[in-house]
Amino acid sequence: MLGHTLVVVSDAHLGVAPSPVEEALLDFLDAVPQLGDCLLVNGDLFDFWFSYSRVIPRRGFHVAAALGRLRRRMPIVMVGGNHDRWDTHFWQQDLGLRFEPLRATFEIGHRSVAAIHGDGVAEPRWQARLIHGIIQHPVTAAIYRVLHPDLGLRLVDSLSPLLGDHTIDDAKLARAAARQLEWAKQLLADEESVGLVIMGHTHRAVLTEPMAGRQYLNPGAWFDGFRYAVATESDARLCRFR
């Protein structure tokens, strides 16, 4: 059991989001112990993250340090997103977080939770599915690792728009959110022990109960109004940090 009151945040896209987004997130991390007793970071915390064996990205230093401090007070689970899935054990070995590149399963009270970021689920175009497959392939990470970090990070800055949207397109998000909901319903049907499915990626906040007593939750994007969510073994709620 991870805890009894889970705080959920995702899609901050630090690195391309304006600086107030990161400043607010640092304040939020300081406040998390008053909001719950465990934390889920459900992907795309950074617009890009790649931890080499001896190097971490400079742009993520302050948030990584804040997560390290918070981990000394409560359990933290981090799920990789399509922008920050590549880790070489930095989060687990150096900071003590639990890092899952694709899916995390844990319990909040007596409720089983399945958390994934959601990329690859809501992508209707074959081009998007192809990119999803390429960026997850271990050969891609191995090739990128041999590049000098300065060169690699500049390359990512130019390719970042291909990894996902940073904008709010209501029509596009509505279609993607509908596909995510259908996928969540299928997961709940296939895995009867799961009581809560959590996703991010579409940047659209959703809380619904597809089956009696079993919920699907997307906290929305942190960069879009400092959104987060809180879940317990019996319920969940969408929130904004002020």
pLDDT given for residue 123 in this prediction: 66
Average pLDDT by stretches of 10, the chain with 242 residues: 97 92 98 98 90 80 96 97 83 94 96 94 64 70 75 72 57 85 96 97 94 96 97 97 92
Q: Which residue matches tokens 């949207």?
A: 165
Could you tell me the pTM of the whole model? 0.88
Q: Spell 74-106 as b/e; 16+ CB within 10 A means b.
A: ebbbbbbbbbbbbbeebbeeebebbbbbeebeb
Domain ranges of the chain: 6-240
pLDDT given for residue 218 in this prediction: 98
CATH number for the region 6-240 comes to 3.60.21.10
